[in-house]
Structure 1
Amino acid sequence: MTDPQTPESSRWHVALTQITRANGTIIVLAILLSFVIGGIMIAATDPAVQEASGYFFARPVDTLAAIWDAVAGAYAALFRGAIFNYEADTFVRAIRPLTETLTYATPLIAGGLGVALAFRVGMFNIGGRGQMLVGAAAAGWVGFGVDLPWGLHTLLALLAGIAAGAIWGGIAGVIKARTGAHEVILTIMLNYIAFYLVSWMLRTPGLLQKPGSSDPKSPAMKDTAVFPSLLGPQFNLHAGFLVVIAATVLVWWILSRSNLGFQFRAVGENPHAARVAGIDVKRMYVLGMVMSGGLVGIAGVAQVLGTSTNGFAAGVDAGIGFDAITVALLGRSTPWGTFAAGLLFGAFKAGSFTMKAAEQIPLEIVLVVQSFIVLFIAAPPLVRAIFVLPSPERDRRKRERSRMKAQLAVASHQAGGDR
C-alpha cells in the first residue's frame, strides 16, 4: 500500500539530514562569521564610530580605532557577563556570570534535547512552547497546591511536568501515526492551544490563579517544591542544572546504547527501509514525540521551580521553546552537542545584559548573531564559498577518479603481463 505522505516526508528527511550533519569545522566557522556580522552591526550603530566616519578620509585611523573600541568593548562585556568578570572586586562576583550562564542554559538544554531527540526520529518538533507551558503548569500546580515534605515534593512536581509535556507531545505523535498529518502543523497548532489553555487557567480562580488576585499569575511555589540552590543564596544556579545533566546522559544512552535508540535512528534515516526491516515506524513516532515532549517539559519545570518561584504567568516559556530548535540544530541533534550549544546560547543570554548595561548595545544584536549561526549552519555551501573550502562532494569525486585510475593502471599492467 502506497503511503500518501512519502514524497513530502522524503523532502523533510533530506532537509533535516543536510542541516543536522554539518561538520564541526562548518559550525566553528559559522559562529565566527556570525560574530563578525555582529561586530559590523555594533560598529555601524556606535555613535563614536559614526562621528569618526564623518572625517574618515582626513583621519582614517580615528575611525578604525573607534571601530575597534566599539567591537572589542562589546565582546569584552559579553565575556564579563557570561564567563568571568575580571573587573569584579571579589571572587564570588567574578564567577557569578558563569553561574548565570548555567542557569540560563538549563531550560535551553532540556528543550534542545527534546527537539534533538525528535530530529533523530526524523520529526520536526516545533511544539516546544506548548510542551513547556503545560509542563510548567503541571509542575507549578503541584508546586503550590500540594503539601509534601521536601525532596518528595520537588520530585513529584518534576514528574508532573515531565508527564504533562510527554502527553502534549504524544498527542502530535499519535495523530501523525494514525492519520499521517504532518507534525510541524500539529505542534504549531498545539502551541496555540496550550498558550490559551494556560492563560485561561491563570485567569480562573481555583485552577492556577493566585487566590485574591485579579492578575493572571500563579501563587508562589512552596519552599518544599523549589529546586535547591547549588552554590548558596548568592547565586541563582539551582539543582535543575543537575537534572539536565542527567537528562543528557540518559538521552545519550538511549540513542547510542539501546535497541530503542537504534530503532529511532533507523526511522530517522529512512522510515520506509525501517518499515521493511520490521520496525514499527508508527510506534517509533509516538514514542519519539512522547519522550521529546517529556524532555521539553523539564524546561518548563526548570522555569517554575528554579527561576520563577514567586509565581509564573503565561509568558513563562520566555521564547525558550523556539530557541530550543536553534540549540538542537547547532548541536547537530546529538546529546552532548546540544548540551554545548545550550551553554553557548546561555552565555549569549547572560552576556547580552552586560553588553546593554556597559556598552549600550541593543539586545537584538545578540539575537541576530544567534540567527546567523543557524543560517550558516543550514547553508554549509555558503560557508565553504566564503572561506574557499573544498566541497565534500568534489573531494569524493576526486577520490573516486583516483581510485578508478589506479584500477585502470593495475588492469593495464595485468593485461601487459598476460601478453
Structure 2
Amino acid sequence: MNTMRKIFDKSSFLVPLVAIVLGLLCGALAMLAGGYDPWLAYSSLVKKLFGSPYDMGEAIRAITPLIFTGIAVAFAFRTGLFNIGAEGQFMMGMTGATIVGVTLDLPWYLHAPLAIIVGGLFGGLWAALSGYLKAARGVNEVISSIMLNWIALFLSNYIVGTYLVMEGQQKSKPIHESALVSIKWLSESMGNARMHWGTLFAIIGLIVFYVILWRTKKGYELRAVGLNPNAALYAGMNVNRTIVTSMFISGVFAGLGGVFEILGVFGYQTVMAASWGYGFDGIAVALLGGNTPIGVFLGAVLFGGLSYGSAGMSFGANVPPEIVRIVIGSIIFFVASHGLVKFFLKPFMIRRSNKGKSEGGGAR
C-alpha cells in the first residue's frame, strides 16, 4: 500500500490531464446522445480557435480575465481561504475603472494608470470586507463573499445607472480615450481583435503571485496562517491581519480582471442583468491548475479556449454552446474526484509498478 501511495503521489500531475480527457469524453457522449458528431464538433472548435489571426486574438482576450480570477482564487486557497466572491470583486473593479475613466479628464500617462489602480483597489477592498468579517466576527468567508457578489452586482448597476449612464441607454458614458489600454497596432495585425495591455499584466500577475507567496516573508506568513492558524498565532503572527491582507490581495487580482475588460475590451460599462461568470470560472481554473501559477495559466487557456471555441461548434456542427459547459463541468467534477480519476489510473500504475519490480529484480 505504501508503494502504491508513493506512486500515486509521484504521478499526481496526471490527475488534471486524465480529468480533461474524461471531460472531453463525457462531452462526446452528450453529443452522441443528442445526435451530433463529436469529431466534427471538436474539430470545429479547434478551427475556430486557430482559423484566423482574429480568432486567435479573441481567444487570448477571452483567456485574460480567467487568468486574473484564477490567480485570485488560487491565492486565497494557498492561504487557507475560499474566495468564492471573485465575481463581485471583478464587477467592483469594473465599476472603479469606469468611475475614473468617465468622470476624470487627464493625460493618458496619468489617466490609465489611475483607472487601473482605483479598479484594483475597489476589488481588493471589496474582498477585504469578507476578510474582516471572518477575522473580527468569525463569519465564514464562503457565505459573506457569495452574498457580496449580489451586493456588488446591484451596487454597480446603481452607480452606473444613476451617475454615469448615457442618456436613453442602459450603459455608461464612453470611457475617455486617455484611459483606454487597447493595443491598436497589435489589434490591427490580428484582424482587429480586441487586444489590450491586460494580457501582459495577467502574465505579470502570475509572476507576482509566485513571488509573494514563495519568495517573501509576508508570503510565508500568509501560507503559515492558512496551514495552521493556531500554530501561526503561537509563533507570534497576527492571524486576523493576515486574513484581511490575504483577501485584499486576492481581491486586487480579481478587480484587475474587471478593470481590463472595461478599459481594454468594451470602453463602457453596462447595467448588468446578471453577473459575468468570470469569477466562478476562476474557481474551476484554480482547481484544475492545482493553485499554482503555471497551472492557473494552463487552466485559463483550457477554459477560455473552450468558451470561445464553442461558437465554432455551434456554426460548424450545430452543437449548442451548452455542450461546452457540460465538458467544463465534467472536467471540474473529475478534478475534484481525485479518487475516481485514480481508479482509472490504477491498472496503468499497477503495471508500471510491476515492471519496475521486475527490472529491479533482474538487475540484482
The TM-score with structure 2 as length reference comes to: 0.88
1:265 and 1:368 map into 2 onto residues whose CA distance is 34
1:180 and 1:197 map into 2 onto residues whose CA distance is 25
2:182 and 2:320 map into 1 onto residues whose CA distance is 33
Is it true that 1:37 corresponds to 2:26 in the alignment? yes
- How far 1:376 sits from its partner (Å)? 0.8
- How far 1:262 sits from its partner (Å)? 1.1
2:256 and 2:12 map into 1 onto residues whose CA distance is 29
- How far 1:363 sits from its partner (Å)? 0.6
- How far 1:22 sits from its partner (Å)? 9.4
In the other structure, the counterpart of 1:365 is 323
1:78 and 1:350 map into 2 onto residues whose CA distance is 8
- How far 1:287 sits from its partner (Å)? 0.3
2:290 and 2:347 map into 1 onto residues whose CA distance is 20
In the other structure, the counterpart of 2:165 is 209
Deviations 1:216-248 (A, max 9, x none): 321111111111226133221211101111111
1:269 and 1:169 map into 2 onto residues whose CA distance is 20
- How far 1:317 sits from its partner (Å)? 4.9
In the other structure, the counterpart of 1:261 is 219
Would the aligned equivalents of 1:252 and 1:336 in 2 still touch at CA under 8 Å? no
**In the TM superposition, what are the counterparts of 1:348-359 in structure 2 within 5 Å?**
348-359=306-317
2:298 and 2:340 map into 1 onto residues whose CA distance is 24
**In the TM superposition, what are the counterparts of 1:106-145 in structure 2 within 5 Å?**
106-145=64-103
Would the aligned equivalents of 1:115 and 1:124 in 2 still touch at CA under 8 Å? yes
- How far 1:330 sits from its partner (Å)? 1.0
In the other structure, the counterpart of 2:13 is 24
Is it true that 1:309 corresponds to 2:267 in the alignment? yes
Q: 2:48 aligns with which of 74, 81, 85?
A: 81
- How far 1:387 sits from its partner (Å)? 3.4
| SS of 2:186 mapped into structure 1 | coil
Deviations 1:157-210 (A, max 9, x none): 100100100110111111111111100011011111111111222321xx2222
| SS of 1:163 mapped into structure 2 | helix
2:11 and 2:280 map into 1 onto residues whose CA distance is 20
Would the aligned equivalents of 1:22 and 1:380 in 2 still touch at CA under 8 Å? no
Specify every segment of 5 or more residues in structure 2 that has no aligned partner in the other structure, as ranges: 1-9, 354-364
- How far 1:355 sits from its partner (Å)? 1.0
- How far 1:390 sits from its partner (Å)? 7.8
Is it true that 1:221 corresponds to 2:188 in the alignment? no
Would the aligned equivalents of 2:92 and 2:156 in 1 still touch at CA under 8 Å? yes
In the other structure, the counterpart of 1:250 is 208
Q: In structure 2, do the counterparts of structure 1 residues 231 and 367 end up closer, same or farther at CA, with 3 Å as the change threshold?
A: same
The letter of the residue matching 1:218 is: S
**In the TM superposition, what are the counterparts of 1:13-412 in structure 2 within 5 Å?**
23-46=12-35, 70-82=37-49, 84-85=50-51, 94-204=52-162, 207-210=163-166, 212-213=167-168, 215-229=169-183, 231-233=186-188, 234-314=192-272, 317-389=275-347
Deviations 1:366-410 (A, max 9, x none): 111111111111111111113335899xx9xxxxxxxxxxxxxxx
Worse-matched range after superposition: 36-45 or 268-277: 268-277
1:237 and 1:200 map into 2 onto residues whose CA distance is 29
Percent of aligned pairs sharing the same letter: 36
1:347 and 1:364 map into 2 onto residues whose CA distance is 15
Q: Which structure has the highest helix share of the two?
A: 2
Would the aligned equivalents of 2:98 and 2:268 in 1 still touch at CA under 8 Å? no
- How far 1:274 sits from its partner (Å)? 1.9
More RCO (CA 8 Å, sep 6+)? 2
Worse-matched range after superposition: 268-277 or 25-34: 268-277
1:298 and 1:232 map into 2 onto residues whose CA distance is 21
| SS of 1:237 mapped into structure 2 | coil
The letter of the residue matching 2:46 is: F
The letter of the residue matching 1:325 is: I
1:44 and 1:151 map into 2 onto residues whose CA distance is 55
1:311 and 1:121 map into 2 onto residues whose CA distance is 32
Would the aligned equivalents of 1:115 and 1:292 in 2 still touch at CA under 8 Å? yes
2:270 and 2:116 map into 1 onto residues whose CA distance is 16
Would the aligned equivalents of 1:108 and 1:346 in 2 still touch at CA under 8 Å? yes
The letter of the residue matching 2:326 is: V
- How far 1:312 sits from its partner (Å)? 2.7
The letter of the residue matching 2:43 is: A
Would the aligned equivalents of 2:182 and 2:265 in 1 still touch at CA under 8 Å? no
Task: Tell me the C-alpha RMSD between the 2 structures.
Answer: 2.1
| SS of 2:170 mapped into structure 1 | coil
1:280 and 1:310 map into 2 onto residues whose CA distance is 41
| SS of 1:217 mapped into structure 2 | coil
Would the aligned equivalents of 2:79 and 2:226 in 1 still touch at CA under 8 Å? yes
Q: In structure 2, do the counterparts of structure 1 residues 323 and 193 end up closer, same or farther at CA, with 3 Å as the change threshold?
A: same
2:187 and 2:284 map into 1 onto residues whose CA distance is 31
Would the aligned equivalents of 1:101 and 1:347 in 2 still touch at CA under 8 Å? yes
Would the aligned equivalents of 2:102 and 2:164 in 1 still touch at CA under 8 Å? no
Q: In structure 2, do the counterparts of structure 1 residues 314 and 303 end up closer, same or farther at CA, with 3 Å as the change threshold?
A: same
1:198 and 1:131 map into 2 onto residues whose CA distance is 11
